[in-house]
Amino acid sequence: MNIKEVAQKYDLTADTLRYYEKVGLIPKVNRNEVGYRDFTEEDINWVEFAKCMRNAGMSVEALSKYVALFQKGDSTIAERKQILLDQQAIMAEKLSDLQATYKRLTKKVDNYDSHIAKFEEEKLENKEHV
């Protein structure tokens, strides 16, 4: 699969995919005879994983470190797991913050609804008195 097809599949740009490879968010992609990237199924899985993790807020630094360790083999399993655990902790906190703020926002919107109702009522009253 060429770079454009992969980009379209994951709603990224070709530039972003090249950047991801350059900084190690995905492993190096094999090239064809003339030097064009040819993404294998496995490359594509890495792209999906990278997009998912970046989307969840994992830093480029942490993710590229994870990918680099992965390529070093089994001896890095414990270190890799620790990166995932750290990320999980970060996400857990983000999740609870976001949930709390979401609830707060819901209440605020409800409040606006009552205020708007009141405001509309007042406009109506003004009309009646003109």
Partner DNA sequence: ATAAACCTTAAAGTGTACTCTAAAGCAAGT
Partner DNA sequence: ACTTGCTTTAGAGTACACTTTAAGGTTTAT
Q: Which residues bind DNA (CB under 7 A)?
A: 2-5, 13-16, 18-20, 22, 31-37, 54, 59-61
CB 26 within 8 A of CB 70: no
| Residue of 56, 59, 68, 71 that binds a second copy (CB under 8 A) | 56
Q: In this structure, what token pair is assigned to residue 95? A: 């999740």
Q: In this structure, what token pair is assigned to residue 38? A: 């040819």
Contact stretch for a second copy (CB under 8 A) within 9-17, 18-26, 35-43, 50-58:
50-58
- How far the first Cα of the chain sits from its last, in Å, is 71
CB 46 within 8 A of CB 12: no
Chain residues binding a second copy by CB under 8 A are 52-53, 55-57, 74, 77-78, 80-81, 84-85, 87-88, 91-92, 94-95, 97-99, 101-102, 104-106, 108-109, 112-113, 115-116, 119
